[in-house]
């Protein structure tokens, strides 16, 4: 049997608390907004699901006795074929040391599983946000960003809502699934929103707070997302920061994900287990007219680029 040299860093000299310090993480919201209707058909990376968006049919006059009427004409609707491809793959792996786990009595695997979920949500959220920004049917202020203030944020939110309505993305104020449209903003834009007189913060309870919905504004459920990219230009007090607000309905983006592999392997060199997890996911903007973006700038934020 090999002796453990305590002075050289053996395990008996270390003490691990049963309490775990909180770690701060970015939080995303898109996976609570997008639709996942085809997720059950996705199994492995590279899988794809084809679906169709139906054509509109033409309503025609029926006048059998009129001059020039040649009888009923039939259309041949084919629909717009689209593909949802699961082509994104990420993994997380770590080592669980037997001695430290036993001594500290911390359920490390469980805790790290939660950390995997948080880390995975950040990656997925940035991916979905990128899809929305790149493929939005309407991109407001794309060429010259709007200088956003507490005095004009309400008007801009109303313009986003009106655009969704004009694009037929809303029916009586809700989408085709009966849900209110979502407005995804950053904490900095949230600060301006809360200063405008039209903001109404609702007490929705702990579950909604965990999902990041801060209330309603201009017909939207408002979500705060810390994953949205911030672009900086200029330096010092002259620096400005641009971000993109996204307004969308649940019909806009179709998304699917799977945790395809979760494995443990025994370490042959020491007493411990390797844990690894593979996540695959993919999405597509199925209805571009159900997404509207607004590029805005703000000053005086003192954020890192």
Helix (H, G, I), strand (E, B) or coil at 19: coil
Q: Compute the Cα dihedral for 163, 168, 172, 175 and give only its sign.
A: negative
CA distance 303 to 305: 6
Please name which of 291, 281, 279 lies closest in space to residue 251, comparing C-alpha atoms: 291
Instruction: Write phi, then psi, for 189 (nearest 5 degrees).
Output: -70, -35
* CB burial of residue 9 (10 Å; 0-12, 13-18, 19+): exposed
pTM of this prediction exceeds 0.95 = no
Write out the chain's pLDDT in tens, 305 residues.
444 444 444 434 444 444 545 555 556 678 889 988 877 776 655 677 787 777 777 888 888 888 777 888 888 877 778 888 888 888 878 777 765 554 444 555 566 667 767 777 788 889 999 999 999 999 999 999 999 999 999 999 999 999 999 999 999 999 988 999 999 999 899 988 888 877 765 444 444 444 556 678 889 999 988 888 888 887 776 778 899 999 999 999 999 887 767 777 888 888 777 877 787 889 999 999 999 999 999 877 666 54
The pair of three-digit structure tokens given for residue 111, joined into one six-digit string: 């805790």
Helix (H, G, I), strand (E, B) or coil at 25: coil
Q: DSSP of 46-70, one letter per residue? A: T-EEEEEEPPPPPP----TTSTT--
The reported pLDDT for the residue numbered 294 is 97
Residues 6+ apart with CB under 8 A from 251: 35, 169, 175, 176, 177, 286, 287, 290
* CB burial of residue 84 (10 Å; 0-12, 13-18, 19+): buried
CA distance 205 to 192: 23
Residues 6+ apart with CB under 8 A from 13: 6
The reported pLDDT for the residue numbered 42 is 67
The reported pLDDT for the residue numbered 273 is 79
Question: What is residue 277's DSSP assignment?
Answer: E
The reported pLDDT for the residue numbered 283 is 92
The reported pLDDT for the residue numbered 157 is 95
């Amino acid at each position: 049997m090999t002796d453990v040299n305590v002075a050289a860093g053996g395990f008996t000299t270390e003490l691990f608390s049963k309490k775990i310090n909180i770690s701060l993480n970015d939080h995303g919201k898109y996976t609570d907004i997008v639709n996942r209707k085809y997720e059950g058909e996705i199994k492995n990376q590279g899988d794809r699901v084809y679906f169709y968006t139906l054509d509109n049919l033409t309503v025609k006059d029926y006048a059998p006795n009129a001059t020039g009427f040649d009888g009923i004409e039939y259309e041949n609707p084919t629909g717009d074929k689209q593909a949802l491809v699961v082509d994104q793959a990420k993994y997380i792996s770590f080592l669980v040391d037997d001695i430290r786990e036993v001594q500290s009595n911390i359920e490390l695997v469980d805790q790290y599983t939660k950390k995997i979920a948080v880390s995975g949500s950040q990656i997925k959220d940035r991916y979905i946000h990128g899809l929305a920004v790149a493929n939005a049917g309407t991109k407001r202020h794309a060429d010259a960003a709007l200088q956003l203030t507490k005095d004009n944020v309400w008007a801009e939110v109303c313009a986003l809502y009106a655009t969704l309505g004009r694009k037929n993305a809303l029916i009586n104020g809700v989408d085709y699934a009966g849900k209110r449209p979502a407005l995804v903003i950053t904490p900095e834009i949230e600060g301006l929103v809360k200063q405008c007189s039209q903001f109404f913060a609702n007490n929705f309870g702990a579950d909604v707070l965990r999902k990041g919905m801060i209330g309603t504004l201009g017909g939207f459920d408002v979500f705060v997302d810390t994953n949205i990219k911030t672009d900086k230009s200029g330096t010092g007090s002259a620096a400005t920061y641009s971000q993109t607000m996204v307004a969308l309905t649940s019909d806009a983006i179709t998304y699917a994900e799977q945790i395809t592999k979760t494995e443990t392997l025994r370490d042959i060199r020491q007493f411990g287990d390797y844990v690894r997890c593979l996540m695959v996911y993919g999405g597509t903007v199925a209805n571009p007219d159900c997404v509207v973006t607004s590029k805005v700038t703000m000053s005086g934020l003192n954020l890192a680029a």
